[in-house]
Each structure stands twice: as C-alpha cells, then as structure tokens.
Amino acid sequence: MISETDIIKILRETDALMKGHFILSSGLHSAEYLQCSKLTMYPKKLEILCKSLTEKIENKYKNIDMIASPALGGIIVGYEVSRCLNIPNVFVERVNQIFELRRNFSVKNKKILIVEDVITTGKSSLECAACLIDEGADVLGYSSIVDRSDGKSLIKNEIISLIKFDIPCYDPENLPEELKKIEPIKPGSRAAI
C-alpha cells in the first residue's frame, strides 16, 4: 500500500494538486484544487495510485460485477480500477445536465461500485448512482482516489479512498482576505464563470 506522503508527492509532481483561488463545481471557493485530470497525463503514476486503491476496494468488496464512473473526470480512473480488478466498466454522461447511460451499456442486475477521481460534495456520484439504479443496477458503494468531503459529503455510505484532504471551502460572500486578493478561476469541467 502506498504511503500518504507518496500519494501527495505524486499529486504535486503531476500538478494535480494546485494552489491559488478556485471556484469549485459546488460554487464554493478554495485555496487548493485537485485537478486529477493532470494526474491522468502520467499513466504509470496513475497506475500506482489505482493499484493501491484497488487493494482497499478488494478489502471491502468481494462481489463487484462492474465499475461505473461519471463522465468526464471519473472515466480514466474508473477504467484503471476496472482493469486492476479485471471486470467491465461503464460510464454515465450528461445530456442536458442530467446523467444518462448511453452507448448501449447494460447494467441491469449488476453489482456496481462507483469510482471517481475526487469526491467533494458527492453530488456527481449520487447522480451517477441514481441513473444506474434507474437502469436496474445494484450500487454497492463509492470510491475515489481523493476524498475531500471532510465528512460533509451527501453520500451517506463509506467512501473508499486513497487519501482524505481537508481543504477548507468558503462561500463566495465569506472569503478570507488572502483569497480576495487572487483572481478566481474555475478549473473543473462544468460551465466556466
């Protein structure tokens, strides 16, 4: 199992862990941001993290039929975890802001683990789960490389993650003085500011 120090080192080396002033998809602001898509630029480093995440998943779940991920951020991580587990994977994608299972994927009667790169509020994971349940799947749980929910996720199940980050988030009307001095950016995949 990889150490927390080594996980942070990989995240910094790949610029997946950034410092600045960021607007999260939730609308909250933060002085640090996890852009795991930067991590996916380095397949061997991603493989190291996903193998370690897979070990944690295998300690918790013995009967997973399939991995599912919300597009776009979770797709590569979900694929890599499914490869390590040697099971199929699918993804859901947004159509008019609502997740749909497309491309003739079938999840009926499958026991599915949802895998993401980062879970903050859990909103995307829960929307993904609702879509899969509507398609007849049994969603077993949730997993991510990084859990930055600080225990405040909308997900009530345990989140299996490699590392937990407590990165403070702020309402736009209640920013610390140091963040007010930095022009905010919205680096995620949802609509630009």
Kindly state the average pLDDT of the residues 112-140: 93
- pLDDT score, position 192: 47
- The answer to the question of residue 32 being in a domain is yes
**Is 186 within the bounds of a domain?**
no
- 15-72 pLDDT, tens digit each: 999 999 999 877 889 998 888 889 999 999 999 999 999 999 999 998 999 999 998 8
Q: Which two tokens stand for residue 20?
A: 């600045």
Residue 100 domain boundaries: 4-180
Residue 191 banded pLDDT, cuts 50, 70, 90: very low
Residue 187 lies in a domain: no
Mean pLDDT (the chain) is 90
158 confidence band (pLDDT: 50, 70, 90): confident
**Helix/strand/coil percentages in the chain, nearest 5:** 30, 30, 40
| Domains contained in the chain, number | 1
Whether residue 190 lies inside any domain: the answer is no
CATH number of residue 130's parent domain: 3.40.50.2020
Classify residue 63: in a domain, yes or no.
Answer: yes
* Torsional class of 27: left (φ above 0), alpha (ψ -120 to 50), beta (otherwise): left
Burial class (CB in 10 A: 0-12, 13-18, 19+), 185: middle
